[in-house]
Chains A and B, each alone.
Chain A
């Protein structure tokens, strides 16, 4: 039996009260709920405080470059489809520097879980606006308030017809663990955008603020209704819905490669006979 203890306990570099702690605990619970042992899991991250999460639990880890967790995760999954691959990073990494990779990943639908710690600010570089910062959010770098429109990753993902889109909240760890477990078990690319208070640099979106605005979707909410999902995804202001906002069955990207039916590419022998026949074609 796998237990939360199997995933270890480490000292972190996070501020006391950081939302990352709740997310880390929820992730461990979700992995246990999915019956996964640490060696079956690959956590891929980019750069930022959220991207350090993989260092604080036991698993296979690839901590790469800012914004680049998704292509690394996709490459690893395509090399070994038996790995449970989770890409985990912050809003700046996933939606800013990695924006193009984010869009492309949703279109591919590789069996992959994306956990975006969305604190709506750049934490590691000490408080600049992020793509998800509220318009008008004042920082040292945006002294007159952020001019750019707020990026809504959930709405973008639902609009694109991504196969699993959820929003969680670090302050509701049990609920979040459930969402992460569903995302891991979903066959396809699953996005969980996780609202996360940043106690040091985001004085707007605080624990109190989230408590006042967030609500969990009703039991009878049907995440398969795309039109309703779009409306729900766009609801972000006075009320912010939490839960699985949209999901659907969709063919897996990796299934187009017959060779991946045979498991990891490592260890699959190179066909000398195949090569010989290919060469004959150039005669």
Chain B
């Protein structure tokens, strides 16, 4: 792997560690480095133990790392919790009042550098100097964050930044952490998964979003709201998740490409709405940011445990598509695609992400906005006959969708079984015809399926199968094994439903051992592959402690995992 430095900032919520982390990451990206940022936090606003982690160097990095090169401890607890992860040559930066007697410790008299509420800025100055970043890059990041709105605060921050920079110049030397790389383009966007989803939705033509706040999905919507006015997007915080999805369905029915964003518990409430979207054939995008369940589970942690829930949510039988992005770029592109597929199939479509992907950030090359093709809802009425039939029976299952109020045609949609006019019907023949019409849309969804991506050669000794956010850690683990001369490849699914076995079955069959890596306890995706493709994977690596996969975790598990019996 490329040489990298893993920097971890730890402290209580409210100490400003996210601010330092974000500013430092931004400065690093502008200075031409690659970063991978991830966060760990508790379900509380003040206190608790939080960390902000940055891997930096030439990259690229797609996953967090466990061992630490530079630890910034904003409180004593951070030292206790993370001292075991420190590398042999690690630096530990801590306030003189609790600096431990450990080798590599830099005891900093923070009181001399500035007032307590700016110790995060002081830490930023120290880190900037230690990493030999240009001072201007740091200052510009601080300036961009504080904006022109708070000129006095900016002056105060600059003072602390300079003082801490000078302190580091005088007191820290010979630590050996030299950043390599630094040649990457400066015009890269630093985005986390949820920001990329929000931007993808706006690029994809989203016009309406309703939500009820729930970690880790809320930040998708908060990001949308920042840009809603510029992009002509209407949003509403609904009274509950049931209200949110019904509002989105109403808006979509009336012509606004719509989405909701939630997590497992909120999605449980939305299940009847999913069924409504399917029956009324109303497009809607549902982003489900997974976290450990059941029930409230671990609100700020990660898991891939809701695949089967999302796959089956909603009563009755109907087609759906489920996308599961594995990278920041994919969050952007797949969200656009998911909106388009929802519109084309007149169906509920899902985006399955999780806390790990939501909160991890990477620099990505500026997206080409000219290349985006926003969704257009419905069709022009043209010479559509009157009375108009919203649910006309067609060969491909798609009835021409007009929007209410935009012509003299009347649009009638119904949650009951209905005839071609949209009116309630209890006729059994109508029922069969309508069920079959709706189910025919699965063929259209299959034609649009994103094929899984094979990284490496076909026919290796080991093939890691994975989906969604596990992609990065799996790629890193596979590369590490290849570095040891082993024959390894990985197959990543960024769409988990529908599955089209001819796209991947031969790849599975050609591999020696097939290891499914997924963030849940029971092997939901492995089971789905078995059901749909008749292929039983030899082994499974699971993680369900609330933490994301890392390459280390996968490599360690590979050594200890025993082959599974057939039938998971």
Contacts and interface: CB of A to CB of B under 8 A. Distances in A.
Given A79-B254, A268-B232, A55 B249 contact: no
Given A104-B243, A279-B366, A274 B230 contact: yes
A271 interface: yes
Contact of B369 (A68, A70, A279): A279
Interface residues of B, number: 69
A73 B238 CA distance: 13
B236 A283 contact: no
Nearest to A274: B230
B231 A270 contact: yes
Contact of B377 (A70, A103, A266): A266
A91 to B, nearest CB: 19
B447 interface: no
B229 A275 contact: no
A272 B408 CA distance: 31
A37 B407 CA distance: 11
B232 A271 contact: yes
Contacts of B412: 55, 60-61, 63
Contacts of A216: none
A101 interface: yes
* Residue of B187, B188, B251 with most partner-chain A CB within 10 A: B251
Contact of A75 (B190, B208, B272): B208
Contact of A78 (B208, B366, B403): B208
Interface stretch (B291-299, B415-423, B489-497): B415-423
B410 A52 contact: no
B159 interface: no
Given A74-B236, A83-B405, A266 B411 contact: no
B407 A39 contact: yes
A55 B234 CA distance: 29
Contacts, number: 215
Contacts of B208: 75, 78-79, 265
* Residue of A55, A82, A103 with most partner-chain B CB within 10 A: A55
Contacts of A79: 207-208, 234, 250-256, 258
A266 B254 contact: yes
Nearest to B412: A61
A278 B202 CA distance: 10
A76 interface: yes
A63 B207 contact: no
A144 B370 CA distance: 69
A72 B246 contact: yes
* Residue of B246, B374, B411 with most partner-chain A CB within 10 A: B246
Nearest to A80: B254
Nearest to B364: A282
Interface in B344-382: 366-367, 369-370, 372, 374, 377-378
B250 A274 contact: no
Given A64-B415, A101-B243, A275-B231, A58 B256 contact: no
A279 B247 CA distance: 28
A48 B362 CA distance: 51
Given A71-B246, A80-B405, A63 B240 contact: no
A31 interface: no
Given A75-B210, A275-B203, A283-B366, A100 B240 contact: yes
Contact of B280 (A38, A58, A62, A74): A62
B207 A265 contact: yes
Contacts of B377: 266
Contacts of A260: 234
Interface string B50-75: 00000000000000000000000000
B276 interface: yes
B205 interface: yes
A258 interface: yes
B404 interface: yes
Interface in A108-161: none
Contact of B253 (A72, A82, A259, A277): A72
Contact of A39 (B234, B367, B409): B409
Contact of A279 (B199, B232, B239): B199
B314 to A, nearest CB: 12
Contacts of B406: 80, 264, 266-267
A161 B272 CA distance: 31
A113 to B, nearest CB: 15
A47 to B, nearest CB: 8
Contact of B255 (A55, A62, A264): A264
Given A39-B405, A79-B234, A257-B234, 6 more contacts: A39-B410, A42-B405, A52-B424, A60-B411, A101-B242, A283-B189
Nearest 7 A/B pairs, CB to CB: A266-B255, A75-B250, A60-B404, A72-B250, A75-B247, A104-B239, A71-B246
Interface of A: 37-40, 42, 44, 47, 52, 55, 58-65, 68, 70-80, 82-83, 100-101, 103-104, 257-260, 262, 264-272, 274-279, 282-283
27 contacts: A39-B408, A52-B424, A60-B412, A61-B411, A61-B413, A64-B246, A65-B246, A71-B238, A71-B244, A72-B249, A74-B250, A77-B250, A78-B234, A79-B251, A79-B255, A83-B404, A83-B405, A100-B240, A101-B243, A104-B239, A259-B229, A265-B208, A268-B207, A271-B231, A277-B230, A278-B231, A279-B369
